[in-house]
Amino acid sequence: MDRKWMFANRLSDEYAAGVKEFVKFAVQNAKNPNSLLCPCLVCWHGIRVNPSELEDHLICKGIDKNYICWSNHGESRFDSGDAADSVRSASFGAEEDACDGDRVEEMAKAVEDDLRDCPQMFERLKNDAGTPLYNGCSKFTRLSAVLKLYSLKAANGWTDTSFTNILTLLKDMLPEGNVLPGRLYEAKQMLCSIGMSYERIHACPNDCILFRNEYESLKSCPKCKAPRYKKENSCPLKVLWYFPIIPRFRRMYRSAEVAKQLTWHKYRGEGDGMLRHPADSPQWSKIDSDYSEFGKEERNLRLALSTDGINPHSLQSSTHSTWPVILVIYNLPPWLCMKRKYMMLSMLISGPQQPGNDIDIYLSPLIEDLKKLWEVGVEVYDGSREETFRLRAMLFGTINDFPAYGNLSGYSVKGKLACPICEDDTISMRLDHCKKNVFLGHRRFLRTTHRYRGWTKAFNGNKEEGRARKPLKGSDLIAKVKNVKCKFGKTFKKQLPKCGWKKKSIFFELPYWESLHVRHFLDVMHIEKNVFESVIGTLLNVPGKTKDSINARLDLVSMGIRKELRPVKKGKLG
């Protein structure tokens, strides 16, 4: 059966006719025609629907383009021919974190579910994994050599042309009869079955909306009227790249070794009271207590989300800001959870402008998948226990610097009330000479008997008798932001927030978000590294790093403290 319709425009007659043919095929081959697995980009083979719902899902949300053999709907063979070749080419996308020659067997197992009923593609993958690169070669097979080279291409930024030239050179240098591909196209054909699916979602250039769901067919933004495409070549002005997380979790659990590591937090042994891993935190225990059904399944995932702006063009374009959104898996042991191999790029928000407060618009596809993983879950095969179970997942928190904290949480982190804990009780003052806001009320966070509370000369000249404000609970925070009106988009004038909160964060759509002790974590670099450098730079009077300047000493004089440090004029030039 021709599958070219899977890659056609969802608004075209070709796609609609293909969906009807697919639904008809699925009904004819199903044991229960009213209970069919849905391969749309939201359900990902994890939910059963009736034929009418299946057709609606495929039309509105699109089909998984990697599902080229309909093994879940009764197909046992994959038709060869031009259509098959076009599907293989169109479904290609290599996972960099999987490009390791030592993991060929593991990757073959990971894609076995999708290809075991497609003899041609799966047999080709196994043959490539077992064929020596040349006669007598014991170190590399045809597949492992290509995977290793492709990982180097990704790591070093080789262009397609340079990669083809390298393949051609290596093929000539190797002994006669070697099976190394001579072109990039041939290498892609080999790797197409282990590719990572993705979605290109068009976005308003002013960050107002994503052209999906009810906005799918529009040619311009309904809010700011900005065009969706460039006039000259019909290319979208802005694109969000979304890499669905559910199929990647399935592949991880397919590997027996990785599946075992994902339960490390349960069997790590008795702790000593020290915080070495998120599993030692009170929040982890609170989740187990509040959501016992989720906590009793040790294979359920707890994730952290991290995002920040990067400039992919280095110094060539210092104003460009692209935002990757990365997920970290906290189930893994501490020596693995921050390894590059297990840090999942879930989306890429293209520039040139940073999303800022409008980042919620771009996070909506990821939040939908996270809601599904919490409320319904998906069926996953566990390679270590050789059984199928229903996987659920939750977002444990976010990791970011302070400006990104403001974007994700919705609090204004600039100005006199920049502290999201103290809010209106923030103690701050403006320095006349340094021209910056400083926050000097930090002693009230100490215990009531701490000796620093009584020191006057070393601080602001007064004793500290204040008490620190307790952080707001999630329910109290929702009550504060429920009436905050926010219009997303760069063209709308932003109103100054009265309570410090600019919006109700999209993370509150997750049912468990308000119950968490800590929802946003500040990264170590901006707290420990920068503070350490400032303190050491001042103590050692390091040029360019010290904070002991003339303006700082003049501000001490204005505040009436540390008079012994006031600047002393010497000579006519002072």
Using the predicted structure, report yes or no on whether residue 396 has a pLDDT greater than 90. Answer: yes
β partners of residue 437: 430
Highest mean pLDDT: which of 83-97, 258-272, 358-372?
A: 358-372
Query: What's the pLDDT at 97?
Result: 36
The pLDDT confidence band at residue 299, using thresholds 50, 70 and 90, is very high
Higher pLDDT, 219 or 97: 219
The pLDDT confidence band at residue 539, using thresholds 50, 70 and 90, is very high
Query: For the residues 401-427, what does the mean pLDDT come to?
Result: 88
Cα(118)–Cα(457) distance, rounded to whole angstroms?
A: 79
Q: What is the 3-state secondary structure (H, E, C) of 383-410?
A: CCCCEEEEECEEEEEEEECHHHHHHHHC
The pLDDT confidence band at residue 573, using thresholds 50, 70 and 90, is low
Q: What is the pLDDT of residues 314-331, one digit of tens each?
A: 666 677 889 999 999 999
H or E stretch including 109? helix 104-110
Cα(42)–Cα(56) distance, rounded to whole angstroms?
A: 12
Q: What is the pLDDT of residues 157-169, one digit of tens each?
A: 888 889 889 999 9
Query: What's the pLDDT at 496?
Result: 62
Residue type, 511: P
Higher pLDDT, 351 or 178: 178
What does residue 247 show for φ and ψ, rounded to 5 degrees? -65, -25
Tokens linked to 431? 């320095």
Query: For the residues 456-463, what does the mean pLDDT come to?
Result: 85
Query: For the residues 230-251, what does the mean pLDDT come to?
Result: 86
Report the percentage of the chain scoring pLDDT > 70: 87
Query: What's the pLDDT at 122?
Result: 66
Query: For the residues 59-84, what does the mean pLDDT come to?
Result: 64
Of 317, 309, 490, give the one whose Cα is nearest residue 401.
309
26 touches 34 (CB < 8 A): no
Angle between helix 359-375 and 246-254 (nearest 10)? 50
Q: In this structure, how many other beta carbons lie within 10 angstroms of the beta carbon of residue 540? A: 9
Cα(16)–Cα(300) distance, rounded to whole angstroms?
A: 37
Q: What is the pLDDT of residues 81-131, one digit of tens each?
A: 333 333 333 333 333 333 344 444 444 455 555 544 455 666 777 788 888
Would the pTM count as exceeding 0.75? no
Query: What's the pLDDT at 78?
Result: 39
Query: For the residues 458-475, what does the mean pLDDT come to?
Result: 86
Cα(276)–Cα(283) distance, rounded to whole angstroms?
A: 14
Using the predicted structure, report yes or no on whether residue 31 has a pLDDT greater than 70. Answer: yes
The pLDDT confidence band at residue 530, using thresholds 50, 70 and 90, is confident
Alpha carbon of 372 to those of 16, 63, 375, 394, 509: distances in Å? 26, 17, 5, 10, 12
What's CA 478's distance to the chain center, in Å? 25
Report the percentage of the chain scoring pLDDT > 90: 30
Cα(265)–Cα(301) distance, rounded to whole angstroms?
A: 11
Omega before 567 cis (within 30°)? no
Highest mean pLDDT: which of 74-83, 90-99, 386-395?
A: 386-395
What does residue 141 show for φ and ψ, rounded to 5 degrees? -100, 175
Query: What's the pLDDT at 103?
Result: 45
- Residue 453's contacts (CB-CB under 8 Å, 6 or more residues apart) are 443, 446, 463, 464, 465
For the chain, the average pLDDT equals 83
Cα(64)–Cα(85) distance, rounded to whole angstroms?
A: 17
Query: What's the pLDDT at 367?
Result: 95
Using the predicted structure, report yes or no on whether residue 384 has a pLDDT greater than 60. Answer: yes
Query: What's the pLDDT at 317?
Result: 60
Query: What's the pLDDT at 495?
Result: 66
Query: For the residues 381-408, what does the mean pLDDT come to?
Result: 92
Query: For the residues 431-435, what does the mean pLDDT come to?
Result: 90
Query: For the residues 399-422, what does the mean pLDDT come to?
Result: 89
H or E stretch including 378? strand 378-382
